Chains A and B, each alone.
Chain A
């Protein structure tokens, strides 16, 4: 067989007439599966490293090649593999293995982890129409008082009970359920739903909200606070909080909500509710505000943690470049750069319960007054990696430190829950001081709780970045009204969200496609503000 010029490999060079083989400019490290962002068909994918960054590349035979940045630090991507905790098998599975991941959700028996966190979306309606919303929620078109007519839905008591029961059947004793939406606080039965959760063996409820009702309805805040005092149970607030610039608010939320956020927080503080500030972080919008958000959180009495999440490019969002998106290491670098007096490389540690590249966490112990803080990241107090290295370290003697750290570095860890507080205490107590200097640290750290602060960095996957390797160990599950537990990133990336919405609303829902720069020519708007594949150039298939 002969090879002529035209068949030569791309990049091949000639020197003095003889063909010369060239090196590839990337290191191929994994073969995996993903989906086509346009038609959601499962496709083969590869993970490659270029210039210390990790990229996922795939090709759909119908729609061509796609590539996205998935991790901004290749060295950490590779080294974090050690911190991959063996999964725990849930008590029940809801589906069978039929077509393989990610088409059998879920959870199917091939899933590698139980649900650390269950999410119940109680509605699709919202009192905002944010330009960025992975759930494609809002004041739905066509719907006046009945959002249903516009392709939206709200769950009933019966549906909520079923969803909670499925979660409990799978978990036994569940750690956390999160009510989300839409905007869950505008569901007229949301307090009943909290009660339904508290009536079951579910220790903690999280309410994921934009805060408008918390800012304007003190009675509602008082009702939540009362439920937060239920013995053995907690109710915590997961408050959307993207920054302080007016532009940040307008471009991410469509409205300047700064005074609402402040009032919501003050009302929570007054009522004794613990709050996590949750920022959707987008390049060119609010990436400069991360340090300010952390510091504001530390200073506000209601806030005990901050979650920083690169914008999930599913549902509705502003146009983005998949090769230059924010990933966990990028967010961590921004935090370090914006508060160098507090943070340095190594202060965040990957979470072992899910895939370690999905989520990184740090805990801080904070002292002093606003403006003059002493901040001690817990990973500097002890060598966390000595305890959470599951590949080489199985036989390390352990006096409870590993267990405490596992509970802290987990997707079910939330400030304000008993488990997290208790494990923080256990960790501080395990620091080897008393023998040495006679300081009774357990006694001394009893009141540390109020000084402990948590920062979570979580990069959710989207149809561009989806890697089934991560998906198969996902421990954050969407609980569906038909009684399935679907990994959050599958729900948003593979088409499950659209299917559930279609069934629940009775209105056809188009497959959502990321609003990615390279796809601009191939997209058309949906009624909810997200994008879908443009039909004109041919029939786009759906799974």
Chain B
């Protein structure tokens, strides 16, 4: 599963991810603005980026704009969000307009591996729970580095896995979309960043956030079972299989096979 798809296959996978992220189990149940750790972790990430008012921040895989709006609102920075899904871009734009943040949180549709932004444009780049889904992580990291100004910081939060210990439930395409199958161990992320010229300043483990996410998935599955069981079945979700998968996931987190991490890196001057 560490074999990276190439060419057409990669493109198809990317489209599938973006379009289907919101129809996979995680997206379906948690909404695609969701990432483990919620806004608390986003703030922790932002605090490490030395943001000052008026700075430019790029949010890669901006989803429905939650992170971008939080940064624009709470840190008074100008945020550009890029997402592969045009539907998300529209939703984020609308949310920013309603929040009165349309001028400081802007959104465009684009590819993380080919960011629609000039070189050296941003003081900071953030990417939450998304690098793990990008088929070409090295290329995405190169793009992060390209759009950052020298000395600019990258803030990542992402799923980590220890591939050798990942339970079989989490190795298929479904798991890929759910952020897990193509996630990497923390040291591999920092190696990928280093190769792109991004020097890691700090890493933190937030595995508890994964457990919380698993609880949330289970709770929402149960809610849907109460309110719309037939649609859940039609969506291809096997309710009977859910407890075993969730239990395997909890075990994997407890044993360190799946986790969540925060990484702060800087673009060398």
Query: Cβ of B30 < 8 Å from any Cβ of A?
Result: yes
* Known contacts A392-B43, A436-B31, A448-B227; A383 and B38 CB within 8 A of each other: yes
Q: Shortest Cβ distance from B108 into chain A, in angstroms?
A: 19
* Known contacts A437-B231, A439-B231; A428 and B224 CB within 8 A of each other: no
The answer to whether A432 and B38 touch across the interface, beta carbons within 8 angstroms, is no
In the bound assembly, the distance between CA atoms of A377 and B69 in angstroms comes to: 28
Number of chain B residues whose Cβ lies closer than 8 Å to a Cβ of chain A? 41
The answer to whether B226 and A374 touch across the interface, beta carbons within 8 angstroms, is yes
The answer to whether A367 and B224 touch across the interface, beta carbons within 8 angstroms, is no
Q: Shortest Cβ distance from B91 into chain A, in angstroms?
A: 7
In the bound assembly, the distance between CA atoms of A1 and B17 in angstroms comes to: 77
Query: Cβ of B268 < 8 Å from any Cβ of A?
Result: no
Q: Shortest Cβ distance from A376 into chain B, in angstroms?
A: 5
Majority secondary structure of chain B interface residues (helix, strand, loop or mixed):
helix
* Known contacts A380-B218, A397-B101; A433 and B73 CB within 8 A of each other: no
Q: Shortest Cβ distance from B70 into chain A, in angstroms?
A: 7
The answer to whether B40 and A385 touch across the interface, beta carbons within 8 angstroms, is yes
In the bound assembly, the distance between CA atoms of A367 and B219 in angstroms comes to: 12
| Of B20-28, B52-60, B160-168, B258-266, the one with at least 4 CB within 8 A of chain A | B20-28
Interface code A414-449, partner B: CB below 8 Å = 1, 0 otherwise? Answer: 000000000000001001110111111100110010
Interface code B6-35, partner A: CB below 8 Å = 1, 0 otherwise? Answer: 000000000000000011000111111110
The answer to whether A397 and B95 touch across the interface, beta carbons within 8 angstroms, is yes
The answer to whether A439 and B227 touch across the interface, beta carbons within 8 angstroms, is yes
> Which of A344, A397, A431, A440 is in CB contact (< 8 Å) with B223?
A431
Residue of A nearest to B227 (CB): A444
In the bound assembly, the distance between CA atoms of A439 and B31 in angstroms comes to: 12
The answer to whether A439 and B228 touch across the interface, beta carbons within 8 angstroms, is yes
In the bound assembly, the distance between CA atoms of A248 and B22 in angstroms comes to: 52
Residue of B nearest to A385 (CB): B40
Interface code A367-401, partner B: CB below 8 Å = 1, 0 otherwise? Answer: 10000001011001111011001001111110100
In the bound assembly, the distance between CA atoms of A389 and B39 in angstroms comes to: 10
Find residues 39-63 in chain B having any chain A CB closer than 8 Å to their own CB.
39-40, 43
Interface code B227-253, partner A: CB below 8 Å = 1, 0 otherwise? Answer: 110011001000000000000000000
Residue of A nearest to B24 (CB): A436
A431 CB contacts on chain B under 8 angstroms? 31, 220, 223
Q: Shortest Cβ distance from A362 into chain B, in angstroms?
A: 12
Query: Cβ of B222 < 8 Å from any Cβ of A?
Result: yes
| A-binding residues in B (CB < 8 A) | 22-23, 27-34, 38-40, 43, 66, 69-70, 73-74, 91, 95-96, 98-99, 101, 212, 215-216, 218-220, 222-228, 231-232, 235
Q: Considering the complex of A and B, which 5 residue pairs feature the smallest CB-CB distances, nearest first?
A: A432-B31, A444-B227, A395-B73, A380-B219, A397-B99
